[in-house]
Amino acid sequence: MNLSDFNTTTHRGLFISKNSHSTFGRKYIARFQINKKRYVKVLGYEKADKLTELKAFALLQEYKDFISNNKTVQKNTSKKTVIKTQNNSDEELYLLKSLLGDYKSIDPIVLEEGIQKIYDNEQLKQYQIELIKMQKYLEKTNKKMIILFEGRDASGKGGAIRRMTRYMNARHYRVVALGKPTETQRHQWFFQKYIEHFPTGGEVVLFDRSWYNRAMVEPIFGFCTPEQHEIFMEDVVNFEHDLVRQDIILVKLYFSVSKDEQKMRFESRRTSPLKQWKLSEVDLQAQDLWEEFSEKKYEMLKRTSSRSAPWNIVRSDDKHKARMEAVKIILNSIDYDKRNYALDFNPDEKINISVQKELARMRKKKDY
């Protein structure tokens, strides 16, 4: 292998061929010396192996670590073998600096949060792949799915929906977030405006707030009468039971945020120009009305969680963990094809809480 056929890169020990193969692309090689012995290794090609300089350098590091950690040197006494290891701290620091760029100009807290998001996104991505498989199964079998996202303001419903649908086929899912009812809708059967948005065969519909507005928000703010609220509470279980009988897969998620965390998120909305659009008049009253919402939440969970349509409670103070658990709940609601059983589909019992435990906790303390 003639080194004159290769160019140096920005990483020590990593070289790339001057000429590019029409099919394979340019070739990366590793060339370095350890304990006066030279090592040369072909790492792969740009096109064939989809290598970038950073990926090639990572392979170089793996190869050097393998050589260093397995290099044995026999002493003249031949009494023992010494394992020689090489300190790669300088090269690791160089790699980090090349990845982070001008990191000193960034607030360390912002930088730490950004790095954590990378790890979180990579973990979530494996389950997003499963959501695509699930969606394909629904399309193939012509099944219908409805997912309800409920919870207090700033509980993380919208962010969870965005993560779930990020890679899904947009032709086979819809996100429904209904605003104030029109004059016509006010005089309709209450459920009618929601039924108009129900899925067709092979489709998923995600309701960002649902008919459960009538269980919590509407009675608290006087948008419905006590009689209308009670009629809803009496009718909704049978309504959902009929949906399930009609082979609709119904998943009910309640995102449960603590009072302190909600307050912090409202403050972030108030002070951040990027989030101020989220702040509403209802948000401004949510903290003052915390106990009223808690009472309605307790009644809703107790009266409307049924065997055919149970509530799934998701602790949402940690947004990433909440999203992970919500995705697991959805994936566990149907036996789709080609499930990756190497993934962990078991619930995190600190985040995914049963209705019974949530009600028991609320009887003791009303902070959720």
For residue 283, give the 3-state DSSP assignment. helix
CA dist., res. 124 & res. 118, Å (int): 10
Average pLDDT score over residue span 223-229: 96
Q: Which residue, chain included where needed, has tokens 């990756």?
A: 340
Measured between alpha carbons, how far is 328 from 146 in angstroms, rounded to an integer?
Answer: 15
pLDDT of residue 97: 74
pTM of the model: 0.74
Query: Does the structure show a pLDDT above 70 at 244?
Result: yes
Structural contact between residues 236 and 132, judged by C-beta atoms closer than 8 angstroms: no
Retrieve residue 72's tokens: 């044995």
At 106, the pLDDT band (50, 70, 90 cuts) reads confident
> Is 312 within 8 Å of 352 (Cβ atoms)?
yes
How long a stretch of residues is the chain? Answer: 368
What is the domain partition of the chain in residue ranges? Answer: 3-101, 108-364
Give CA 156 to chain center in angstroms: 11
* 122 exposure class (CB count in 10 Å sphere: 0-12, 13-18, 19+): exposed
pLDDT band at 233 (very low <50, low <70, confident <90, very high): very high
pLDDT tens for each residue of 299-338: 999 999 999 999 999 999 999 999 999 999 999 999 999 9
Question: With 50 as the cut, is the pLDDT of residue 214 above it?
Answer: yes
Crossing angle of helices 226-245 and 290-304, rounded to 10°: 40
Element at 68 (helix H, strand E):
helix 53-70
Give the confidence band of 89 by pLDDT, cuts at 50, 70, 90.
low
pLDDT in tens, 148-167: 999 999 999 999 999 999 99
Pick the residue with more confidence: 6 or 325? 325
Its CATH architecture, for the domain 108-364, is 3-Layer(aba) Sandwich (3.40)
What digits encode the pLDDT tens for the residues 27-61? 999 998 888 788 888 898 898 888 998 888 888 88
367 burial class (0-12, 13-18, 19+ CB within 10 angstroms)?
middle
